[in-house]
Amino acid sequence: MIRTKSFDNNGPILYLIATPIGNLSEISQRALDTLKEMDLIAAEDTRNTHLLLSKYGIRKDVISLREHNEVQVSLNVIKLLKEGKKVAYVSDAGYPGISDPGAILVSKAIQSGIKVSTISGSSAFLNALVSSGLPTEHFFFYGFLSPKEKEASDQLSSLKEMRDTLIFYESPHRLFKTLKVMEQTLGNREIVLARELTKINEEFIRGTIQEILSLEKEGLKGEMVIIVSGSTEQKIVDDSVLIKRVEYLMSKGMSRKDAIEVASEDFGINKNYIYKIVHQ
């Protein structure tokens, strides 16, 4: 076990800074202050980062750290941090590492004993989820599906029985192809399309997959977040499976009441029914 306090000494620290997903005014004061303190900024897209820095009068050296060079540049960044340089990483928009580069950099930094701290900011999938009107208590963020239809169908099949709200990213040129695969695999579910988030043309389109497919001829522009309602199908589960699940949860320290409630959520089965068979 390793416990790390980010700010308890003067050791090297890698900052991950979430950047605006559209409206550049959404960046926080703490993010700006941190960017001003850095000796170097690593960025997924140096052009976008220079635009952001220019808006706030920040002049810094910026290097490219993107998908195709992440391993090598990550090693260079870690070397600079060990030499005492202050370095932050920003992706194109939103949080580094969320459907963007950054995870390799973070992993190698931690392996090298370098602390990692994230400066909060915008998140496209959270913005879309909380405005969607679909359930937010439990959700599953998947990111981008495979561009290959068969692989995308297989990926969706693995999510088909989940009762949680599902969240995907998609580019405009693949949107309707993806929606057709979703309809074929998941059925005609309620979905919400969120596009151009935080920008002047921000739009939420709510309806069934079939209803939204009717917009194909119109076409839709901008990066998309697709929020999909979870499965509502009642599962057929053997009573012995339910009992074993409750017993397992209780063995981990849960009370019987809490274990029954969790099993009810896991399998989508009425908790009174589970209570009855557990107490037989």
Query: Does 77 share its domain with 133?
Result: no
In this prediction, residue 39 carries a pLDDT of 97
Gyration radius of the chain's alpha carbons: 23
The pLDDT tens digits of the residues spanning 139-149 come to: 999 999 999 99
Domain coverage including residue 211: 125-228
Query: Does 46 share its domain with 87?
Result: yes
Query: Does 116 share its domain with 198?
Result: no
Question: Cα–Cα distance between 18 and 48 in angstroms, integer?
Answer: 13
Mean pLDDT of the chain: 93
In this prediction, residue 275 carries a pLDDT of 87
Query: Does 132 share its domain with 113?
Result: no
- Structural domain total, the chain: 3
The pLDDT tens digits of the residues spanning 61-77 come to: 999 999 999 999 999 99
CA neighbor of 222 nearest in space, from 169, 177, 183: 169
The beta-carbon contacts of 261-267 under 8 Å, at least 24 apart in sequence, are 265/138, 265/163, 267/235, 267/237, 267/241, 267/242
Query: Does 111 share its domain with 43?
Result: yes
CATH code, domain carrying 29: 3.40.1010.10
In this prediction, residue 87 carries a pLDDT of 97
What confidence category does residue 108 fall into, taking pLDDT thresholds of 50, 70 and 90? very high
Tokens 């068979």 belong to residue: 277
What confidence category does residue 234 fall into, taking pLDDT thresholds of 50, 70 and 90? low
In this prediction, residue 165 carries a pLDDT of 96
In this prediction, residue 264 carries a pLDDT of 86
